[in-house]
Structure 1
Amino acid sequence: MTLLAHLALLATILAPLALLATAVTERGRARLPGLLAFAPLPGLAAALLAADAPPLVLYADWLRLSLGLDAPGALLLGVAALLWSAAGAYAGAYLPGATRFAGWWLLTLAGSLGVFIAGDLVTFYFAFALVSLAAYGLVVHDATAQARRAGAIYLALAVLGEVFLLFAFALLAVNIPGESLAISDAVAALPGSPMRDVTILLLLLLLGFGLKAGLVPLHVWLPLAHPAAPMPASAVLSGAIIKAGIIGLIRFLPMEGGIPAWGEVLGLLGFATAFYGVALGITQRNPKTVLAYSSVSQMGVVMAALGFGLAAGDAGTPLAAAQYASHHVLAKGALFLGVGVALATGARRWPWVLAPVLLLVLSFGGLPFTGGALAKEATKAQLGAGLLGWLSALSAAGTTMLMLHFAARLRGGSAPEPEASAPLGLILPFAGMTAAALLLPWWLYPAPVKFWPALWPVLLGALGFLALRAVDARLPRPPEGDVLVFAERAATRLAPPLAARAARIETALRAWPSAGLALLGLAVLLGLTMALAA
């Protein structure tokens, strides 16, 4: 069993890269889009087999790398692999023959799943850099002005995040006793580090993992990238890729023992992010943009749970945060896939789309008997008492209002022909992810849920939505990217417009095989630099 677990761990990263390598032949390139659904399956196998297995350790003369899974990592790896597989099948039908897109997809997939199994600083940094940089190709695939601008902003922020994360890892590495680069050893040494506060607050939270997870004000890439990317790419960007930041916080925050001051800072920033995402989301008209801001809000709740768990020294917080985030992976991925199905469905067939969409929408608020109710229940220990309990309940109400607003905006779009039906290649992945979002949490982390405490925030959110409908026409319409737009306007006096930069970047990266290899090489180079510096 251990051998199978270790093979699955290795294949989680190597299978997508091996599949990408087949693109050197014309036949391999032609087959690539149709095989995307199979590339994440080793990750799913690893989630099932490797959670209780000893880690796989790989030795070199000067380096020791390790792959392994704990309970939070196995949970997030499993649901992320499931989403990547469903979205890969969806992409094959949505973008048939898109070989360049498939190349970027596989690179991003390798990094996205790799962060969940990395057991040391070098492997984690390699995977984190790969998912961050390669996702650029998914954002700019449509080659529109909007996509190029979003891609340029995304890439600039991703590189900035990598630089700060590299610095943070160097600070972690120098405090580890001996020559170890294991994450567990780094976290154990962190509380006694003289650079603890700088490492945690400025580098790991705000400028490293917080940027990837969408912590306000570092969230601006989400509402820009999600609407610009093709539908299957939006699904994995919001559902799986932003979880690289969440697993980073889970892995590197020293929960045992706690750090009250910085835990409370992260918790308050998390709630600020949660409410900010709702406030901005209800002003948007594009359904994909509404979903992007809802992801900002939901990740804010996860970070609030992590923060207050860190403040209390609650060792159960990582698993609770992973459980909450796992529902987001499934449900948000399903909704993005559902947008494509809805837009291809005629008005007379729309009820067949609306029913599952509404179930998913209400599950985000914690509707009883849905997977979302279990997700809310998972963080009760961190966010369920006193003022935090009220903030959590109001956040659930705000989420319900925002997601009903999404459903209303989605209802405005359908295929021109009343009898039109979406292709089966889109319907099946959407149906599968919807069922997984509603049912899978009951198998993964069942718990008793009190009916009325779970229901009243949903009812309050529904009333808020009705009130919102009455004033919707008078609401301001902040642009996608909100605070960044105002910063851009000021920056245009000092620097060339971002759109021009985006065009130059897109031209340089147009040949995807070469660019993919360049990104892979860059990630390796940065990781090796960190290891040597340690």
Structure 2
Amino acid sequence: MTGMLLLATPLLPMAMAMACVSATLRTRMMEWLVLAPLPGLAAALLAVGGPPLVLDADGARFTLELSPPAAMLLGATALLWSLAGAYAATYLRDDPAKGRFAVSWLLTLAGSLGVFLADDLATFYLAFALVSLAAYGLVVQDGTKRAHRAGVIYLVLAVLGEICLLLAFALLHAATSGDSLAIRDAVAALPTAPARPWIVTLLILGFGLKAGLVPLHVWLPLAHPAAPMPASAVLSGAIVKAGIIGLIRFLPFGENLPGWGEVLAAMGLFTAFYGVAIGITQANPKTVLAYSSVSQMGVTVALLGLALAGGQVGWVRLAAFYAVHHVLAKGAMFLAVGVVAGCGGTRLRWVLLPVGLLVLAFGGLPLTGGGVAKLAVKDVFAGPWLGALSSLSAVGTTVLMVHFLLRLQLLGSGQPQERPAPGLVWPFLTLAAAALLGPWALYLGTGIGSLEKALGGAELWAGVWPVLLGLVLALGLHRWGWRLPAVPEGDVLVLTRRAPALLSACGDRLERGEVVLRQWPVAASALLGLAVLLVLAMWQAA
């Protein structure tokens, strides 16, 4: 039973994408997107910790398994994909290109869920590449010049990320004894691998790009505003988690890896504050949310860096738990943008109420899902310096999210009687409720913490004061924020004026990397399989 759930998680959306060969099914596929992630949700509830599923086909070996941290992320991600799929059916109901969108959506979904299950290098690479490259179709769906520019930049960075990971996996396989492709064997070989510095660097580059680490983050503030609303929700809430699960699966937590944990933690903390600093200069609510994702992924990566530096395997589960709240809450906020745009009069205030709760939850307001997520990782940031940085991060997050709320309310319809379609409202409200309550269920149900600790006076005050200070600073920003410099979406992309020279300099190094790849036959098979999938997807969408 558990093996069938693991297998159905990526195969059901793949089969639905294949069914789009039929023009009749393709035009109706939007109505069924809500069903595609349900095997993944069932697997997260029923298949965690079960025996691995091993598939052998003509000498190729694919292994699927679900660990507890991956199960938490899989469940939240599947729920987001399902509700965003229901939202998309209404949001894109009259779009003539909705069939093409459905194919891109389903292929991206298959990869997005597959990365949480893959237990060998080849399977993980195929799933990761699929979620990376198929998402291009979601970014360019609107067909505008802005969307195509964002899509090109996204695709170039995605390919660079794939190159980094393919090189890292080839070097990992070369350092692994025997012919094993199991991730656990590759990770066990990493601390003593001759090319360890290169492998770790490539892993951080490949996964950090997907997670939005600065300066690899530029695709987020470009792709999110350009994509349709449901696509933005999964790009920010789900797809960036492919980078997080990659770091969780491939870094040797509990092993001796001197210095790398501190480097990763420093990169994460810098990203966390950078996302806030640039985000408060933005006017587009979707762009503000994109920079908020950059900031929150920075905190998550910092947690993983501290776990690596301290040899604390248990902290990995806490980092995954922290990321679960981001999956649900950020997805709900993107869906809220479309709902607010169709609201007028008193209805607008009723919609902004749950959004306001989500905003405060991101700052760590006690008794909310975000509050319990921050409480769970509080001990990881123990110590005067880390504790102060954690509190400042909560203050900055509150400022940024209140800024988002103030920008969001300006999108409200000027027609008092206008109301959003029910097909937009109920997925948003369901996801908002899951973001506020779901982390509590995990916190208490999986033994991460206790109710007594969450309700302690000291813990409550530690969660309240950063939110209060953030609110005060946000009001000051609202009044005097016009004095801030205008920072374009994508910020560091001004450096792309030198891109041709940089690409030329990288050419020789890429050719050297090709020699390494030729020594790993699985790489060629993985690339061939990916090419077939992408060609098939484009043919189906034509």
Structure-1-length-normalised TM-score: 0.91
Compute the displacement of 1:494 (Å): 10
SS in structure 2 of the partner of residue 96 of structure 1: coil
In the alignment, residue 204 of structure 1 is paired with which amino acid?
L
The residue aligned with 2:161 is 161
- Whole-Å separation in 1 of the counterparts to 2:90 and 2:370: 29
Equivalence for 2:516: none
CA distance in 1, matches of 2:160, 2:501: 22
Select which of 280, 283, 287 maps to 1:282: 280
Question: What are the residue-to-residue correspondences of 1:308-323 with 2, within 5 Å?
Answer: 308-323=306-321
The equivalent of 1:455 in structure 2 is: 464
3-state SS, counterpart of residue 285 of structure 1: coil
Counterpart residue number, 1:353: 351
Give, in angstroms, the shift of residue 194 of structure 1: 1.5
Corresponding residue number in structure 2 for 1:508: none
SS at match of 2:333: helix
Contact 1:226 1:238 in 2 (8 A): yes
**RMSD of Structure 2 on Structure 1 (CA):** 1.8
User: How many residue pairs are counted as aligned between the two chains?
Assistant: 498
1:348: Cα distance to partner?
Answer: 2.6
Residues 301-334 of structure 1, C-alpha deviation per residue, up to 9 Å, x if partnerless? 0000100110000011221110000000000000
Find the aligned partners of 2:279 and 2:247 in 1 and give their Cα distance.
Answer: 25
- Note the residue ranges of structure 2 that are not aligned, 5 or more in a row: 504-525, 535-542
Asked whether the 8 Å contact 1:133–1:519 carries over to 2, the reply is: no
SS in 1 for 2:20: helix
- 2:180 paired residue number: 180
Which residue matches 2:190? 190
CA gap 1:524/1:250 in 2 versus in 1, 3 angstroms: farther
Matches within 5 A, 1:296-335: 296-335=294-333
Structure 2: how far apart are the matches of 1:7 and 1:416?
Answer: 50
Cα distance in structure 2, aligned partners of 1:257 and 1:330: 32
Unmatched 5+ stretches in structure 1: 496-517, 527-534
TM-score w.r.t. the length of structure 2 is 0.89
Instruction: Determine helix, strand or coil for the equivalent of 1:340.
Output: helix
> In structure 1, which of residues 407, 410, 416 is the aligned counterpart of residue 408 of structure 2?
410
Matches of 2:133 and 2:344 in 1, distance apart? 38
CA contact (8 A) 2:126 2:530 kept: no
1:240, 1:329 within 8 Å by CA — same for their partners in 2?
yes
Deviations 1:66-106 (A, max 9, x none): 10101010000000000000000000000015111111000
Distance 2:160 2:464 in 1: 42
Alignment partner, residue 466 of structure 1? 475
Q: Give the 3-state SS of the residue equivalent to 2:35 in structure 1.
A: coil
In the TM superposition, residue 466 of structure 1 has moved relative to its aligned partner by 1.6
2:272/2:294 contact within 8 Å kept: yes
The separation in 1 between residues aligned to 2:502 and 2:441, in whole angstroms, is 55
Greater shift in the superposed pair: 347-356 or 144-153: 347-356
What secondary structure does 1:445 align onto? helix
- 1:371 and 1:438 in contact (8 A); partners too: yes
Matches within 5 A, 1:224-235: 224-235=222-233
Q: Aligned partners of 2:182 and 2:203: how far apart in 1?
A: 17
Task: Describe the shift of the 1:524–1:317 C-alpha distance in structure 2 as closer, same or farther (beyond 3 A).
Answer: farther
With 411-420 and 67-76 compared, the bigger mean Cα shift is at: 411-420
1:426-476 Cα distance to aligned partner (Å, 9 max, x none): 000000000000001111123332100111111111111122122211111
Output the CA distance in 2 between the equivalents of 1:131 and 1:71.
22
Instruction: Measure, in 2, the Cα distance between the counterparts of 1:249 and 1:357.
Output: 31
The Cα of 1:263 is off from its aligned counterpart by 0.4
Structure 1 position 524, deviation (Å): 6.4
Structure-1 separation of matches of 2:163 and 2:120? 18
Where do residues 12-91 of structure 1 align in structure 2 (5 Å cutoff)? 12-91=9-88
The residue number in structure 2 matching 1:338 is 336
Give the drift of 1:204: 0.5
Identity %: 62
Counterpart residue number, 1:136: 136
**Does residue 208 in structure 1 map to residue 206 in structure 2?**
yes
Residue by residue over 1:311-367, the C-alpha shift from the partner in whole angstroms, topping out at 9 and shown as x without a partner, is 000011221110000000000000000010001111331111110000000101110
Structure 1 position 49, deviation (Å) = 1.3
1:391-425: per-residue Cα shift (whole Å, max 9, x none)?
Answer: 01100110000000000000111123112111000
Taking the aligned partners of 2:46 and 2:133, their CA distance within structure 1 comes to 29
User: Which letter maps to 1:132?
Assistant: S
Counterpart of 1:151 in 2: which secondary structure?
helix
Tell me the distance in 2 between the aligned counterparts of 1:407 and 1:252: 37
Distance apart, 1:385 and its partner CA: 2.7
Query: Structure 1 CA distance, aligned partners of 2:528 and 2:104?
Result: 11
Q: 2:475 is aligned with what amino acid?
A: L
Give the structure 1 partner of residue 290 of structure 2: 292
Name the CA distance, whole Å, in 2 between partners of 1:104 and 1:237.
12
Which residue identity lines up with residue 189 of structure 1 in the other structure?
Answer: A
Shift of 1:520: 8.8
Residues 255, 317 of structure 1: 8 Å contact kept = no
Structure 1 contact 130–520 (Cα < 8 Å) conserved: no
Q: Alpha-carbon deviation of 1:490?
A: 4.6
- CA distance in 1 between counterparts of 2:271 and 2:166 reads 25
CA distance in 1: counterparts of 2:217 and 2:272, whole angstroms: 11
**CA gap 1:29/1:519 in 2 versus in 1, 3 angstroms:** farther
